Amino acid sequence: MTKSKLSQYLKFPRANNKLKLLAKALGLKYAYCYSLDTLAGSTCPMAKDCLGEKFRCYAKSLETAFPLTYAAHYHNTTLLRGCQSPWEVCQLVLASIPPRTKIIRIGSSGDIESLTILLGYYWAIRQTPHIRWYGYTKSIGLFLTLIEDYMSPQERDQVDLPNGRILPNWAMTASRGGKQDNLIDKTGWRYAEVVPTASQANQVVNHNDIPAYTFGGSFSLVVHGIQKAGTELAKLHHIHIKNTAKLNKKKRLTRHTKNV
């Protein structure tokens, strides 16, 4: 990578609410937890349901509501697309990681859109065994190419897709609702499935990203974020927000009572 390219670095925002819950569950300072995000939608070539066909993408809603969030995602997308090789991607990622980082979630917004970017991430993750990487993806085919064509036989033997294990420090969950769901079924890769409410889930519900961070089986995610007005999902989201507010108020009152 040229010197001028390295004068710009990827932006790693600090923990969002889900990452904060994960850090708390693990007993870590959330200041050491980051996400590596790109533009929602335009970097998700295998997306389907989250493009508005069934529900509205949470990250896309954030980009619309918060211009600085959009700018950060655009910045990262531009830098990554500007890399001419996986090695350039790898060098860019390694140079950009904040000090004392413990956890990086890949794609809190966006997905891995090319083999060049995926290989660059792979090489960077191999060189940072002290960092736990995890994420979700609908780019199933790219990962299968990585595993089959670029991993050593030793690494390939240790891949465990039913439990989300790519590398010892890298867990990935296939995200259902994309164009390559058939490959999830074919490989048995553990997956996350979006459901309208927790009561409609047929498997464990992910509230704090522990199921995604650890190696293990499939799980459900309750749809979140602003949904299209007038839809059933929008009504359910409104109820969820009200119930969450009531629960948080109850928790505050309980803490206050204990401190009196």
pLDDT for position 62? 79
110 and 133 in a common domain:
yes
pLDDT for position 74? 96
110 and 64 in a common domain:
yes
Note the pTM of the prediction, 2 decimals.
0.84
232 and 218 in a common domain:
no
pLDDT for position 3? 40
In this prediction, what percent of the chain has a pLDDT beyond 70? 81
When pLDDT is averaged across residues 177-185 and rounded to a whole number, the result is: 96
pLDDT for position 17? 85
200 and 132 in a common domain:
yes
Give how many domains the chain has, as a whole number: 2
Range of the domain at 237: 228-260
20 and 78 in a common domain:
yes
User: 81 or 244: which carries more pLDDT confidence?
Assistant: 81
- Residue-wise pLDDT for 120-171, tens only, equals 999 999 999 999 999 999 999 999 999 999 999 999 999 999 999 999 999 9
Q: What is the DSSP string of 38-100?
A: --TTTT-TTB-TTBTTSSB-HHHHHHHH-HHHHHHHHHHHHHHHH-SSHHHHHHHHHHHSPTT
101 and 144 in a common domain:
yes
